[in-house]
Structure 1
Amino acid sequence: MLKAIRTQVMWNRLISVVEEQAQTLLRTAFGSVAREAGDLSAGVYDIHGRMLAQAVTGTPGHVNTMAVAVGHFLARYPLATLVPGDVLVTNDPWLGTGHLFDFVVVTPVFREGRPVALFASTCHTIDVGGRGFTADAASVYEEGICIPHLKLARAGVLNEDVLAIVQANSRNPVEARGDILSLVSSNEVGARRLLEMLDEFALHDIDALAEHILAESARAARAAIARLPDGQWRAEMRLDGYEAPVQLVATLRKHGDHLVVDYAGSSAASARGINSPKCYTDAYSVFGLKCLIAPEVPNNAASLAPFEVLAEPGSIVHPLRPSPVTARHVIGQMLPDLMFGCLEQALEGRVPAESAGSIWVLAMSRDRAQGAPFNVMSVGLGGTGARPTKDGLSTTAFPSGVGGIPVEVTEAQSPLVVWHKEYLPDSGGRGQWRGGVAQRIEIGARDGAGFECSAATFDRRDNAARGRNGGAPGQPGRVEVFGSEGACSVHEGKGTIRVPAGGRLRVDLPGGGGFGPPPDRDPERLARDLRDGLVSDSLP
C-alpha cells in the first residue's frame, strides 16, 4: 500500500512539474496569442519519446500532436547522440503540430551523465513570414519559413543562425525570437524541477514510474472503451469551406477495447490553407472521443494508443505536402463535434449539441502604403453546445480551450480601437438547455486609415452549429464591413477583408446549438435569459 501511495504521489508531482513548465511559458512568451490566449502546451517524455504527462494549461491540438512529434525528433537525433545543453527545434507542420506558426522545442534531461527524460513545449508565434495568417496560399511554401529538425542549442551554446533565419522572415522578429526563447526557458524549468524531484525521492531515473504510468493509463483507457457497446456508427458534417463547401464523414467502429475512426468519404484536400494535417486530425479526433468515453483518464501516450484514426491520403483531413495548412483548425477543431455525432448513436441523450467549433482568429495588419504598419492578432470566441443537463458556455472556445486577448492589449499594440465586444443576443440555439451565446466584435482604426483582416478561420456562416435532441441550431456567424459614410457590405468567404479608411469591421461569432425541445425550458431560466439580455423575447 505504501509503495502504491508513493507511486501516485510521484505521478501527481510529475504533472505539477509540467504545469510549472507551461506556466513559465505563459508568463515569458512575447506573442499575445501565447501569452494572453494560452495557445501553447508542455509535456514530459520518457527516454523512448513516449508522453508521460501533459500540463493542464494548453490546447489538445498541441499536446496530442506533440505526443507523436517527439518521436520524429528522436528519429533525426537519437538520444545517444545528444549531450547536456542540446536543444532541438522545428515548425514542420507534418512532423510538428500542423502549421508553420507553432514551433516545437525539445530538451533532453541528463542525470549523472545519463539521459533520463525529455521535455517538449510549443506555442503559436504571431508571424513566420510568407502570406501571413491567411488561407490564401496555394502551397505550404507560400505560408512562411519552415525550420526542419535542427539543433537550436549545442551543448548549451545557442545557435543564433537558426534564430536569425526566423527573425529575417518574420514581420514581428522580436516576438518570434522571444517566443522561441520562452520555449527553451520553459523546458529548462521543467528539467530543473524533474531533477529536484529525483533527488527528493532518491531516484536514479523515471523508468519505473514511466512504466507504471503507461500501464495504468492503458488499462483505464481500454476499460472505458470496453464499456461502450460494440457497433458501428456514422456521422456527417457540412462546413463552409473555402472554394467549395466541405463534407466531413466519419465512421466509428468499436470492438472490445479498441476503437477506430475512419474518415473515408470526406472531401478532398482544399487548394487553400484550411487543410488539417493527419497529426492534427488525430489529435482532435481522439480528444473528442476521450471527452465522452474516458474524460478522467490522464492524457499520455498509453491512453491515446487504443484510439486509431484512418484517413485517405490527399483528403482534407490528411493533406499531403506541400498542401497549404495555415488555417488547419477550421477543419481540425470541428472534429470533436463530428465524434460526438457518432457517439450520440451509442450514448443516446448523453451527448452535447454542436459548438461554434473552430475559433475565429482576427489577424489584422496594415502595410506602409496604407499608413503606420502593424501586425496583430485577436481571437473571437463563439458559444459551445448545450449539454444534456446544462446550458452551453458562452464565448468559450471548445475544443481548443484558448482564451480571448484583452482589448487593451490589441489597442496597445496597434492603432486599432475595439468599439464593441459584447454578448450577441439570440445567438445560442433555443432548447430545454440553451446553446452558449456568442459575441459581437466591432473594430476600427483610431488614425482613420484602412487595414486588413484575414477571414481564413471564419466558418459556420452558412452551416450553423446543430442542436441535439430537438434543440434549435445556434445562430450562424456574419461578417460586415462599414465604410466611412456608414454603408455596409457583407463579407463572404475566407479571403482577406479590406476595411476602408474611416471604416469598421464587425464580426458576429456563431452560437452553440440547443439541447432538448425549446418548449421544455424552465420558465425561470427563460426569464433570466431575457433579463440578462441573452435572448430578445420570452418565446420558448
Structure 2
Amino acid sequence: MNDMKIPAAGAGRKVDPVTFEVLRNVFNYACERMTSVLQRSSFSPILADMLDFSNAVYTADLKLVAQAANCPVHLAAMAFSAEAAVEEIGYENLNEGDVLVLNDPYRGGTHINDITFVMPIFHEAELMGFAVSRGHWMDLGGGAAGGQAFSGTHIAGEGLRIPPMKIYERGVVNKGLLSLIINNTRTPHFVRGDLQAHVGALRAAELEFHRAAKRYGIDTVKSAMQDLIAYTERIVRKSIDAIPDGVYEAFDYADTDGISGKPVRLQVRVEVSGSNITVDFEGTDPICAGAINSPFANTSSAVYYSLQFFLAPSAPANAGMFNPISIRLPDNCWLNAKWPAPTIGCTTLTSSKITSAIWQALGKAIPNRITASTCSDSNWFVASVKDQNGLVDVFSDLPAGGWGGTPYDDGMSVTMDPLGNCMNMPAETAELLFPIRYESFELRRDSAGAGRNRGGLGAVFKVRFLGDGELSMETSRTIEGSPGANGGTRSAVQRGTKIGPDGKTEVIGGLDENGQWKNPLLSAHKFAPGETFMFETTGGGGWGNPLTRSVERVLNDVKDDYISVESAKAHYGVVIDASSMTVDEAATARLRQAAVG
C-alpha cells in the first residue's frame, strides 16, 4: 500500500467515554448484522448452515475496527485481501455502490474457495471506511469437487483464481464476471444467491455507518475508530507484559503434502520481549509439491488468533490486537506460499498445525495457563454426488474432533478446531438436498488424550452414498494424535474407512489394522451406491499427569463410555471390574504406586 493515496484515518477529535462506548457497540453491531443477513439470505448450505464465512469493518486506511465472531482463520487475513483489492483498483477509482471481489491466495487470500468482497462506505461523498465479507464458496472449479485436487501440484488445478476486480460498479453487477464465475463451478445454482447475500451483508454495515455519521458526525466516528484500536493495543500489550521474557520453541508437522508421503515440518520460535512478541518460523520446511502450502496472509491469521487465546481474548477485536506481534517467515517455506504452489489445504490443515506449535511453545512460558492441542484439523471433505436422475451436486462437511484438556477441566468434545467457528452440516439439511444418508455421528471412545484433565472426545462419522460419488478430503493426525501438555498424553489417530454394503471395510486414509499407512489426502476417491464413508476423528491432548486424575473421575468416564476399562488401567492406573463397574482399590493403589516408582 506504499504507493496508494491513503485517506486520513481520523480528524483527531476527542471522543468522550460515553460516545466511545456507544460507537464501539455500533461497530460490533454492524458486523453482527452482516452475519445475520449473510446467513439468512445465502443459498449454499456451507454458508447458511455451516457458517463458513466472516464479516468485518475497517477504517478508511484499512485498519480492522471490528469483526463478528465468525471464522478466525478468515478474519485477520481479510485485511490483506482488502489492501490488495484497493491497491489494484485505486482509491481514486472507488465509488459509492462499488463492490470489489478477489480470491487470489497470493494477494491476501487463503485457498481459492474463500472469496472476499470489499465495499467502500461513503458518507456525503467522504470515504468513512470499508465493509468486508469473506465466505467459503462450495465449488469454484478445479480438478476435484471443492477444488480439492490433492494429486495436483499447481494452483491452476484448484479452480478459478480471481484477481481484484469490480463485481459491482456504482450498484450495477458486472454481468461478464458473474457469468465467468458461473461457468467455472460445479454448483452454479448457488452463485447468484450467495453473491447477493454477501452484498446484502455489506450494505447492512453501510447502513449502520450512515446512521452513526448522521448522529455523531463523520469526524467523531473516525476518531472513535482510532481510539478503539489504541484501546485494544494497550490491553494486549499489558497481557504480553505478564508473560516471562524469553525464547520458546516447538514444532509440529503435517503427515504428508499428499505427494511425497513424508511429514512436512513446521518449526516455531516465540520470542517475548516486554510488550512485544515475535513469532519466527526459521527452520520450517520449504514450499512443498502438494496442496497444503499456506500463503502469508493465512499464516499471519493463524499466528494472530493462536496468540489471542492467551493474550486478551475479551478485548475488542481490531487491529490493536496485531500491532504488538511481529512475524518472521523464511521466503521459501511452505508457510509463505508463492505462485504456483497449490494451497487448498492451507486453512483446514496447515492453520491448525500453526496453532498447535504455538500453543506448545507457549506451554513452556505459561504452563499453568496453556491448553493442550486440539484435534488440530477440521477434516474437511467434499464429495460430488449423483442422484437418480443423473444430476451431480456437491456435498461437504467438517467432522469435528476434541479440544485439549485445560488447567481447569477436561477439553470440549466434538468441537470445531480454533481455525473455524463453523458448524457441521445438519443431517436433515444434507439428506434433504443430496442423495446421501447419515448413519452416525457419535462420540468416539478412547479418542482423547489422557491427563489429569483429559482431552475432549472425537467422533465417529458415517455417511452412505445413494448414488455414485467422488470424495476428496484433507486430514492429518493419522500417524500420531495431538500432543498433550504438562505430562498429558497424545490423543488417538484419525482414520478414514470405506464400508461396503456387505459390511466389508477398507481403510482409505491412515493406519489400517496391519499398521500400513495410506495417504489421507484424498482426491476424487470413488464411492458406489450403498458404500459408506466412515471417518474417526481424534480428541484433544491431555493436560497434566494422567495418574493424578481422581479415581472417581476415571470411573465416571468409563460409565459414560468415554474411555474403556482397558484404557482406564493402561493410562490412569485405575482397575475397574467391567461387570460391576466398581474400582478394585487395592489393585489400583498397587498399579499407581508402581507407575510412580
- Counterpart for residue 294 of structure 2: 276
Q: 1:217 aligns with which of 232, 238, 244?
A: 232
Change over 3 Å in CA distance of 1:452–1:198 after alignment to 2: same
- Counterpart for residue 259 of structure 1: 277
Please say if 1:420 is aligned against 2:440.
yes
* 1:533 CA drift (Å): 2.2
- Counterpart for residue 78 of structure 1: 90
CA distance in 2, matches of 1:176, 1:324: 24
CA distance in 1, matches of 2:456, 2:358: 19
- Counterpart for residue 60 of structure 2: 47
**Bigger radius of gyration, 1 or 2?**
2
- Matched residues, percent identical? 25
Corresponding letter in the other structure for 2:329 = A
- Counterpart for residue 495 of structure 1: 522
* 1:371 CA drift (Å): 5.2
CA distance in 2, matches of 1:369, 1:344: 53
- Counterparts of 1:31-46 in structure 2, within 5 Å, are 31-46=44-59
Change over 3 Å in CA distance of 1:421–1:141 after alignment to 2: same
CA distance in 2, matches of 1:374, 1:202: 49
- Counterpart for residue 554 of structure 2: 526
CA distance in 1, matches of 2:469, 2:93: 49
Please say if 1:347 is aligned against 2:374.
no
How many residues of Structure 1 are paired with residues of Structure 2 in the alignment? 536
Q: 1:336 aligns with which of 318, 335, 355?
A: 355
* 1:202 CA drift (Å): 4.5
CA distance in 1, matches of 2:529, 2:37: 41
- Counterpart for residue 157 of structure 1: 172
CA contact (8 A) 2:292 2:350 kept: yes
Helix, strand or coil: the match of 1:454? strand
CA contact (8 A) 2:385 2:395 kept: no
* 1:203 CA drift (Å): 4.4
Q: 1:394 aligns with which of 407, 413, 423?
A: 413
Helix, strand or coil: the match of 2:122? strand
CA distance in 2, matches of 1:93, 1:51: 20
Corresponding letter in the other structure for 1:394 = S
- Counterparts of 1:227-242 in structure 2, within 5 Å, are 227-241=242-256, 242=258
Structure 1 gap segments, 5+ residues each: none
Cα deviation, 1:385-426, whole Å, max 9, x if unaligned, reads 111111111110121221111011111221111111111111
Q: 2:27 aligns with which of 14, 19, 36?
A: 14
CA contact (8 A) 2:480 2:490 kept: no
- Counterparts of 1:415-454 in structure 2, within 5 Å, are 415-446=435-466, 449-454=467-472
TM-score with structure 2 setting the length: 0.86
Change over 3 Å in CA distance of 1:2–1:170 after alignment to 2: closer
CA contact (8 A) 1:217 1:298 kept: yes
CA contact (8 A) 1:248 1:265 kept: yes
* 1:251 CA drift (Å): 0.8
CA contact (8 A) 2:26 2:208 kept: no
* 1:108 CA drift (Å): 0.9
Helix, strand or coil: the match of 1:267? coil
- Counterpart for residue 579 of structure 2: none
CA contact (8 A) 1:450 1:503 kept: no
CA contact (8 A) 1:166 1:177 kept: no
Cα deviation, 1:162-213, whole Å, max 9, x if unaligned, reads 1111000000012133222211110001101221122233445622112211
More divergent stretch after superposition (70-79 vs 391-400): 70-79
Q: 2:543 aligns with which of 489, 510, 515?
A: 515
CA distance in 2, matches of 1:398, 1:366: 27
- Counterpart for residue 312 of structure 1: 330
Structure 2 gap segments, 5+ residues each: 1-13, 509-517, 573-597
Cα deviation, 1:125-152, whole Å, max 9, x if unaligned, reads 0000112331222111111011111111
Helix, strand or coil: the match of 1:42? strand
Change over 3 Å in CA distance of 1:437–1:72 after alignment to 2: same
CA distance in 2, matches of 1:345, 1:305: 23
* 1:526 CA drift (Å): 2.5
Helix, strand or coil: the match of 2:482? coil
CA contact (8 A) 1:239 1:462 kept: no
CA distance in 2, matches of 1:16, 1:156: 24
CA contact (8 A) 2:15 2:220 kept: no
- Counterpart for residue 515 of structure 2: none
Q: 1:536 aligns with which of 564, 587, 591?
A: 564
CA contact (8 A) 1:103 1:180 kept: no
CA distance in 1, matches of 2:15, 2:253: 54
- Counterpart for residue 23 of structure 1: 36
Helix, strand or coil: the match of 1:411? helix
Helix, strand or coil: the match of 1:196? helix
CA contact (8 A) 1:482 1:505 kept: yes
Please say if 1:471 is aligned against 2:483.
no
- Counterpart for residue 6 of structure 2: none
Helix, strand or coil: the match of 2:194? helix
Helix, strand or coil: the match of 1:249? strand
TM-score with structure 1 setting the length: 0.95
Cα deviation, 1:81-137, whole Å, max 9, x if unaligned, reads 211111111111122331110111011111112111110011100000112331222
CA distance in 1, matches of 2:390, 2:34: 40
